[in-house]
């Protein structure tokens, strides 16, 4: 599928207090702003129109817009983020999405879903069951996707924050996988690029309009991606990594 639009949110200074389990220190705000600007530029260079939402200081994690909604060509689903401090992020995203989607559905309590747990592979959606996405949320999402004409299934996670922390679909039946998702039975039918433990952050990458976008600094993975023949574009995301945020989390795309 060809992407035409991306929604991102400029980091607010309060981002340095975002949720994290990483032991990498606090992000440097100015550096994060520069990295974010380059992320936007890369998407624009790939012919996407990028809608840049203003910083929202009420929500330090609001840069990670991907978690707040699932976008498909047939409709959007507003999630109910698993972290209570992030629940309020969805209101602004809903408002933005009304410009682009007539059909907007919602995940309701007691369900929780972070869309970082949802990986689309053609017309099927894999949903990670994690500390952020619970059974009720996943079942609501499966029902909603079914109504939209898609199939979906769940994958229980052991320790990963999100499903897409360790898996990315690169098209042509090729999957990048890391950590507990390596050799996972649910993914047995895919061709796989298995990412080493040292480079597992690079498993959160994106295939956009023929190019592979990946975080900078992971040379073994970069070489494996280059072998696919697709252009590989690196973006330094060190400041977002400090908040457990990966490359895909920074945008909503359709």
Cβ distance to ligand CIR smaller for residue 87 or 230: 87
Three-state DSSP string of the chain:
CCCCEEEEECCCHHHHHCCCCCCCCCCCHHHHHHHHHHHHHHHHHCCCEEEEECCCCCCCCCCCHHHHEEEECCEEEECECCCHHHHHHHHHHHHHHCCCCCCEEECCCCCCECHHHEEEECCEEEEEECCCCCHHHHHHHHHHHHHCCCEEEEEECCCCCCHHHCEEECCCCEEEEEHHHCCCHHHCCCEEEEECHHHHHHHCCEEECCEEEEECCCHHHHHHHHCCCCCEEEECCHHHHCCCCCCHHHCEEC
Cβ distance to ligand CIR smaller for residue 215 or 245: 245
User: Closest residue to ligand CIR, Cβ-based?
Assistant: 116
Using CB under 6 A as the binding rule, whether residue 56 contacts ligand CIR is answered as no
Among 11, 12, 18, 48, binds ligand CIR (CB under 6 A): 18
Cβ distance to ligand CIR smaller for residue 17 or 171: 17
Within residues 102-141, the interface with ligand CIR by CB under 6 A covers 116
Within residues 224-253, the interface with ligand CIR by CB under 6 A covers 243-246, 249
Active site residue 162: yes
Residues at the interface with ligand CIR (CB under 6 A)? 18-20, 61, 64, 66-67, 83, 86, 116, 161-162, 165, 243-246, 249
Q: Would you name the residues annotated as active-site residues?
A: 162, 249
């Amino acid at each position: 599928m060809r992407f035409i639009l991306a929604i991102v949110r400029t980091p607010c200074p309060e981002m340095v207090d975002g949720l994290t389990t990483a032991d990498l220190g606090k992000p440097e705000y100015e550096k994060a702003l520069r990295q974010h600007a380059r992320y936007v530029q890369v998407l624009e260079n790939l012919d996407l129109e990028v809608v840049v939402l203003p910083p929202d200081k009420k929500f330090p994690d609001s840069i990670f817009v991907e978690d707040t909604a699932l976008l498909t060509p047939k409709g959007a689903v507003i999630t109910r983020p698993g972290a209570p401090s992030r629940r309020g992020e969805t209101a602004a995203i809903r408002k933005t999405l009304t410009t682009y989607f007539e059909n907007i559905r919602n995940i309701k309590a007691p369900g929780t879903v972070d869309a970082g747990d949802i990986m689309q592979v053609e017309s099927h959606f894999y949903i990670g069951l994690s500390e952020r996405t619970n059974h009720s949320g996943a079942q609501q999402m499966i029902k909603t996707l079914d109504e939209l004409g898609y199939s979906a299934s769940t994958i229980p996670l052991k320790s990963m924050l999100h499903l897409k922390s360790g898996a990315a679909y690169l098209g042509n039946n090729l999957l990048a996988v890391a950590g507990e998702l390596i050799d996972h039975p649910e993914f047995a039918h895919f061709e796989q690029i298995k990412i080493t433990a040292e480079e597992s952050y690079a498993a959160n990458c994106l295939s956009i309009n023929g190019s592979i976008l990946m975080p900078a600094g992971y040379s073994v993975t970069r070489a494996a991606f280059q072998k696919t023949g697709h252009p590989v574009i690196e973006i330094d995301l060190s400041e977002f990594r400090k908040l457990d945020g990966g490359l895909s989390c920074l945008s909503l795309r359709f």
